[in-house]
Amino acid sequence: MTGSLAGVRWGDTLARVVVILLLAFAIFGPLANLVLWAFAERWYFPHKLPQEFGLTFWARVFAPRGSALASLWTSVGIACLTVLSTLAVAVPAGYALARLRLPARTLILLVFLLPQAVPNLPVYVNIARVFYEIRLNGTITGVVLVHAAHGLVLAVWIASAAFASVDASLEEAARNMGASAWRCWTTVTLPLALPGLIASAIFVFLESLDEFTGTYFVGVPDVTTLPLLMFNASMGGNYQIASITAILLLLPSIAFMLAVERFLKADVLAMIGR
Amino acid sequence: MSPPSQATGSPYLHADAVSVSYGATRVLDRVSLTVARGELVALLGSSGCGKTTLLRAIAGFVTPTEGRIVVDGRDITRLPPEARGTAMMFQSYALWPHMNVAANIGYGLRMRGRPRDEIAKRVGEMLRLLQLDGYGERSIAALSGGQKQRVALGRALAVDPSVLLLDEPMSNLDYRVRLELRHELRALQQRVGITAVYVTHDREEALTLADRIAVIDAGRIAQLGTPDEVFHRPVSPFVAGFMGADNAIDVVHAGDGWSWPAGGAGTRARAHFRADRARLAPPGTDAGRGTLAIDGAVVQRVYLGTQYRYRVHAGADDFWVDDPERRDEGAAVRVLVPPDALLVFPAAA
């Protein structure tokens, strides 16, 4: 190998390293700040780093009667209920959209997309007003409904893609081999679509866990989820509590994203929106 | 209709004037077909002719708009697929990727509520029959095309179906694997003694496999007969062409045989013949009694291996003739077609 060629290679590698480092800083810089704040006991203005590290605030967050743990369980409970109610609609709807020759298929998929296209705030303000009249404001049910409406788009789209990726001849073969429509569905269709359905459940769960605006309008003050707690903490200048809650919110997201990557296969992704 | 070659009684499967329409399109037009017990009938036709639709109507995936389908005296026209007792082998094999080989083969018996040990025994029998011993625990993704085909066949045979329906089962296989499996399939079908309907677009496959062939054209049966009948005595120009006699020329009956060109007095007709039943001779060669002589020129030469195939231009027609001797393009030739190689149909009005 000649010297000049090696030089070009080195320059090339160096450029790549610099770009990757910049990218990493853009992504992980704010996160590093978050982690610093989570373990900072004292951190005043002119100092670049906290003067004192410790776990006092963690102890406070995880105190048996601390509000953080309570709202964590509220968040998880709401997310689970949201997943259940969303799947109850998304599974049959997704299957129908994937299999039946509905004339307005694309239109139906677009209608499910509509709540995402409209600005969130006016929608939630109106929902809050309606919910207030029918006494759903400040209830878990109300918050679950708002989260489900939000998660339905994603769930229906992914579920319909998951079912569409199950070849119809596989179902025909089951019927042909003596399976009733229901047994065919439970022994062939559902197991084959399951990875996609799990992925959609995970997305809905994460969406619900992170959701802020709708919960703010419908849930406050009776229902306090983790994002609301984080909001209150950072508005009150309590960056430690806010950072710790943020990390709590981050962990399930990262874990589930890794799982989703396994469940959402290319053949399912290729069918999304078809 | 000719009697089935393996007639062992009254028709076992009877499609009676079956029509199928998709919207305004009529895919099958009053098709009638009988299959005797233990017989293999091939439905032969080009894509879109309706052969697969007929198969799917027998399986229960499409509902006939008119007509009846009867199996062993039982009218199954309106029954759902799972209540018919037919077994279909799909073109794509349609094996379930989330089950292993044994679970695929045993599925039909499981749906029929058979006990576990009986299912395991039957699956074992099928694996042995199809030379798949030791493959029971394999996943479907780990199988070759030929093995998948065997598993699909095993799954269909495991339930001891009333009728075995095969939808182009060989079309996804390599040519050599196909040849091998074709003979295996035929031997197996005769050994098990199963009644089968076999959809294919490959005439060689139909000729080697079937007891009888139904040539299907535009939603109707153009001819139904033994391979020999369909090959040597096609009833229409379409069947003749489809069975490989695709050279067509206008002829006239004068004196003691058919002659070309079709000028002068006599009965006019259109004659079909196969490329390998004609031969080439130098211009002016004496044709002999009854032999059709056509004078033309070679316009194209294709090497076939054992011989050449020539495209000969004569009058307004082009046709293909096989000949072992090498000739140049442009050479004047006389095409000789012996009388028993001519398939003559009335001239189009």
CA distance A184 to chain B (A): 9
CA distance B59 to chain A (A): 7
Specify the DSSP element, H or E, that contains B127.
helix B116-129
Same structural domain, A26 and A131? no
Segments in chain A below pLDDT 70: 1-5, 65-66, 101-102, 115, 265-274
Q: Per the CB < 8 Å rule, is B94 touching A179?
A: no
Please name the residues between 138 and 197 in chain A that touch chain B, using a CB distance below 8 Å: 167, 169-170, 172-181, 183-184, 187-188, 191-192
Same structural domain, A45 and A99? no
CA distance B240 to chain A (A): 34
| pLDDT confidence of residue B148 | 93
Same structural domain, A123 and A26? no
Same structural domain, A47 and A85? no
Closest residue, chain B, to A171 (C-alpha): B94
| pLDDT confidence of residue A99 | 83
Nearest to A178 among B59, B97, B159 (CB): B159
Q: Per the CB < 8 Å rule, is A177 touching B107?
A: yes
Same structural domain, A45 and A69? no
Same structural domain, A14 and A41? yes
Q: Per the CB < 8 Å rule, is B96 touching A179?
A: no
Chain A to chain B, count of Cβ pairs less than 8 Å apart? 61
What total of structural domains would you count in chain A? 2
Residue B98: list chain A partners with CB under 8 A: 191-192
Same structural domain, A161 and A103? yes
For chain B, the structural domain boundaries read 13-242, 247-346
Q: How far apart are CA A206 and CA A222, in angstroms?
A: 22
CA distance B53 to chain A (A): 14
Residue B59: list chain A partners with CB under 8 A: 172, 176
| pLDDT confidence of residue A221 | 79
Q: What is the CATH number of domain B247-346?
A: 2.40.50.140
Quote ipTM for the complex.
Answer: 0.84
Strand order in the sheet with B86-89: B86-89, B163-167, B196-200, B40-44, B212-217, B220-225
| pLDDT confidence of residue A270 | 65
Residue B159: list chain A partners with CB under 8 A: 177-178
| pLDDT confidence of residue A57 | 81
Residue B107: list chain A partners with CB under 8 A: 174, 177, 179, 187
Check if the beta carbon of residue A77 is closer than 8 Å to that of residue A83: no
| pLDDT confidence of residue B5 | 43
Which alpha helices (H) appear in chain A, and where do they start and end?
3-38, 56-61, 67-99, 105-117, 120-133, 140-164, 168-176, 181-184, 190-210, 213-219, 226-235, 239-263, 266-269
Closest residue, chain A, to B155 (C-alpha): A177
CA distance B104 to chain A (A): 10
Q: How far apart are CA B223 and CA B49, in angstroms?
A: 14
Segments in chain B below pLDDT 50: 1-8
Q: Per the CB < 8 Å rule, is B96 touching A174?
A: yes
Same structural domain, A182 and A228? yes
Q: Per the CB < 8 Å rule, is A177 touching B92?
A: no
> Domain residues for A245?
65-269
Which alpha helices (H) appear in B159-202, and where do they start and end?
175-192
Same structural domain, A37 and A103? no
Same structural domain, A224 and A261? yes
| pLDDT confidence of residue B163 | 94
Specify the DSSP element, H or E, that contains A165.
none
Q: What is the CATH number of the domain that holds A168?
A: 1.10.3720.10
Within a domain: residue A274?
Answer: no
| pLDDT confidence of residue B255 | 72
| pLDDT confidence of residue B263 | 73
For the stretch B62-118, pLDDT in tens is: 999 999 999 999 999 999 999 999 999 999 999 999 999 999 999 999 999 999 999
Q: How far apart are CA B37 and CA B193, in angstroms?
A: 8
Q: Per the CB < 8 Å rule, is A176 touching B107?
A: no
Same structural domain, A133 and A253? yes
Please name the residues between 22 and 61 in chain B that touch chain A, using a CB distance below 8 Å: 59-61
Residue A191: list chain B partners with CB under 8 A: 98
Same structural domain, A141 and A196? yes
Contacts of A18 (CB under 8 A, 6+ apart): none
| pLDDT confidence of residue A60 | 80
Q: Per the CB < 8 Å rule, is B107 touching A191?
A: no
The values of phi and psi at residue A15, to 5°, are -60, -45
Q: Per the CB < 8 Å rule, is A170 touching B94?
A: yes
Residue B96: list chain A partners with CB under 8 A: 170, 173-174, 188, 192
From residue B276, alpha-carbon distances to A6, B16, B244, B254, B319 in Å are: 67, 38, 10, 25, 12
CA-nearest of A136, A119, A117 to A127 is: A136
User: Which sign does the torsion angle of CA A103, A107, A111, A116 carry?
Assistant: positive
Residue B80: list chain A partners with CB under 8 A: 175, 180-181
Give me the architecture of the B13-242 domain, per CATH: 3-Layer(aba) Sandwich (3.40)
| pLDDT confidence of residue B2 | 41
| pLDDT confidence of residue B4 | 43
The residues with which B270 forms a beta bridge, in sequence order, are B250, B345
